[in-house]
Chain A
Amino acid sequence: MDFLNAIILLLNFTVLPALTYGSQLALGAIFVTLIYGVLRFANFATGDMMSFGTMFAVILTYYFQSIGINFGILPTALLTIPFAVFMMIFYMLTIDKFVFSYYRIKKSPPVQLAMVSVGVMFVTQAIIRIIIGPSDRRFLDGEKFILKAREFKEITGLNEGLTIKSTQIITIFVTILVVSIMFWFLNKTKTGTSMRAYSDNEDLALLSGIDPKKVVLITWIIAGILATIGGILYGLDKSYRPFVYFNNMLPIFAAAIVGGIGNPYGAFLGGYVIAFAEIFLTYAYKKFFMYILPESLEPTSLVQLLSTDYKFAISFSILVIVLLFRPSGIFEGKKI
């Protein structure tokens, strides 16, 4: 019984949150990695692009609520995804046309493109703050919990409760759906194969008749879908605040690099590596040990490896360690 309690405790406070957070990071990391693999630059506007897509979802959610449309027990925001994705892709293609394409055609070094993306970051941030303001917004509606701690205790008779928030299940489910469709697209379709070819060797791809414009277009479309959905899922789970999205860029970068930048499978797993490391290293294990150890051995301190203040620092330290020992990332594998 004590052992079951300990497992439920860990599930409730570490595994479920880590899976949710990891899924959100994974979507962002695949976005970063795709842009890096196909367009060949580190996109510093990542966080703000995610925020841009989410902004439309927030505004549309408020609009739908005001005219009385809802999605039953599911959050209304899920209904807005197609519209938000459309706006996001439109914005990305506009930026690509007016900003990035010039440097791509000129074959500028990646550093210059990264600098340009800093400019895009500034502009995107300004647009977001001008349209929706910098404040904290919640746009989750519908059923909040699938399983409440009290109900779980009544059903199972355990001491520890398991709370399952609907956003957690939605996040994990939607992520799996989106990512599997994307991997199917990349691996099985002709367009996906041409994208992989373009990313592996641009010259050979061009020689075999792949249209670079089409590859770039498809990349931005996939990136737009990933960025918007990742942003909306994060916003539903926590809350929508432009500044937080900018900061999320950092763990997302860490996830992409840890997984091996340019490799979507790696980025997907990298998101979970970062999330699990952050949450497992900052969780206070006192209660867990109280369940599994005999009374005489019970710990007196919190048994916390690092205080939660250092959550971000952990993911960055992992990144530094990975860069030191395996600069190409943990999961090398083939490039997209």
Chain B
Amino acid sequence: MRQYYNVITAYSIMLFLIILVGIFQSWSIALSILNYCLISAVMTIGANLQWGYAGLINFGIMGYTALGGLAVVLISVAPVPEAWSAGGLGLIICLLIIVLMVLSIKFLSSKFKTIKNKTFVISSIIIIGIILIRFISAPAIENIESIDPAKTGFLGGLGLPVLLSWIVGGLFAAGVAFVIGKIALGLRADYLAIATLLIAEIIVSIIKHEDWLARGVKNVIGLKRPAPYEIDLQNTEWFINLVEKFNSTKLSLINSISERQELLSQLVIDASSVYVKLCFTGLFLIVVAILLVLTQRALYSPWGRKMRAIRDNEISAGAMGKNVVKEHLLIFVLGSAIVGLAGAMMVTNDGLFTPGSYRPMRYTFVIWVMVIVGGTGNNFGAILGGFAVWFLWVQAAPISLFLISLFTTHLPETNELKIHLINSAPYFRFLIIGIGLLVIMRYRPQGILPEKIVKQ
């Protein structure tokens, strides 16, 4: 039990901070911070799997997050039949051509190992394929995008339940990670970091600019959610009764019936948003719990020990007969799948998919700061990092505003420096996060909750 003291203390401090936000700002804000903390926690579990367990640097987290978001659109949005009839056939043919290209190249490179101008044949297959695809897809895409561009202009999704898309988001990310891993995993650590960073950039730019797929930068709004809508709740009998019961003392203080009715409706509106966020919190908590149990079990299983052995000394692990390349690829795919799941969760929570908002700063580097600050190799640490850093990220602006006004109280309101500092308060979050990372890297490089090696 004693070894868990610091874990429990750290988490209680975190919970206390969120409750403080609930009391001083509002419960709705506190819950949305908590939800984002949980989403960040899922991302850090994924990143920690790659970095903490296996020592792989994946700076492509942004790409997998975006793929998870794309899955939500492709699965849950209702299909657009006009678009399918306008250009669906052309795009399906293109897809078939791509599959054929991949298969034929694979066949060529495996069957004819000694063929003389193999590279020439393969590159000519690729070039012919690309020209064919361009010729077939251009009119199809134009047709699709011209159908009611203000509202649809894309193929739409499958119209399936949104929770299914979380799994599909993970699968999307896993599939892409498999291809990237095949390409890039042989590289040295810092090359791998740069390569994944750039590949993620490619993925996002494809999602941004292929409007037929998910409307690109025009965004998809009004996505389905696994929780009830606020408007429906506000008109439901049992919900209003529940709110009335909770606030009966408050309501009984007011005598006039019309005023009481007004207060009640206000309370119902507030409560409905809290209730919806609570639903999300519950769902996210389940996901985090499942992932935590699975990753913890994996960490202390023979497989986890093998991963640590590979991480700590690749050459000797290889000499012991462990297949380093295969294990690296496996953990790269697994970690990316978890990040994809988190991306799907995030888009579901927001209810909208905005490809333009995927930027490496927010979705790659901040997540990495979370993992390093929290504790690499320790799942509890990584999750704590997700909570703490996200909390700081959101609350940095109010905190720095408070500090600025504290230090500049003696200055008059019209002082230019003061006005400038107050206007630039939002940017202090970068400063706080950066200095936090530097301090942790210097004085506690293993993170707040360091990795524990349990000797069995």
Contact = CB atoms under 8 A, between A and B. Distances in A.
A127 interface: yes
A130 B435 CA distance: 15
Interface in A314-332: 316-317, 319-320, 323-324, 327
A250 B198 contact: yes
Contact of B365 (A122, A123, A129): A122
A119 B191 CA distance: 19
Contacts of B209: 307, 309-310
Interface in A102-153: 102, 109-112, 114-116, 118-127, 129-130, 133-134
A312 B202 CA distance: 8
B201 A126 contact: no
| Most chain B CB neighbours (cut-off 10 Å) among A124, A316, A319 | A316
A59 to B, nearest CB: 13
A102 B441 CA distance: 11
Given A250-B197, A310-B209, A122 B433 contact: yes
A13 to B, nearest CB: 21
Contacts of A109: 189
B193 A127 contact: no
B438 interface: yes
B205 A118 contact: no
Given A123-B430, A129-B424, A118 B369 contact: yes
B8 interface: no
A217 interface: no
A169 interface: no
Given A112-B445, A320-B199, A118 B437 contact: yes
Contact of A112 (B368, B429, B441): B441
| Chain A contact residues: helix, strand, loop or mixed | helix
A21 interface: no
Interface in B197-240: 197-199, 201-202, 205-206, 208-209
A102 B197 CA distance: 27
Interface string A169-183: 000000000000000
A317 B434 CA distance: 30
Interface size grouping (class) on chain B = 35 or more
B424 A313 contact: no
Contact of B431 (A114, A126, A133): A126
A126 B428 contact: yes
A120 B428 CA distance: 14
B434 A121 contact: yes
B198 A130 contact: no
Nearest to A123: B434
A223 interface: no
Given A41-B190, A125-B430, A133 B361 contact: no
A258 to B, nearest CB: 11
Nearest to B436: A119
Contacts of A327: 186-187, 191
A250 B361 CA distance: 12
A280 interface: no
Given A111-B57, A121-B365, 20 more contacts: A112-B445, A114-B57, A116-B441, A120-B434, A123-B430, A125-B361, A126-B427, A126-B428, A126-B429, A126-B434, A127-B431, A129-B424, A134-B427, A250-B197, A257-B191, A309-B209, A313-B201, A316-B201, A323-B184, A327-B187
17 contacts: A109-B189, A115-B368, A115-B437, A119-B369, A121-B365, A122-B433, A123-B438, A125-B427, A126-B429, A126-B430, A257-B191, A257-B194, A309-B209, A316-B201, A323-B187, A327-B186, A327-B187
The 8 closest A-B pairs by CB, nearest first: A122-B434, A126-B431, A126-B430, A123-B434, A129-B427, A119-B437, A316-B198, A309-B209
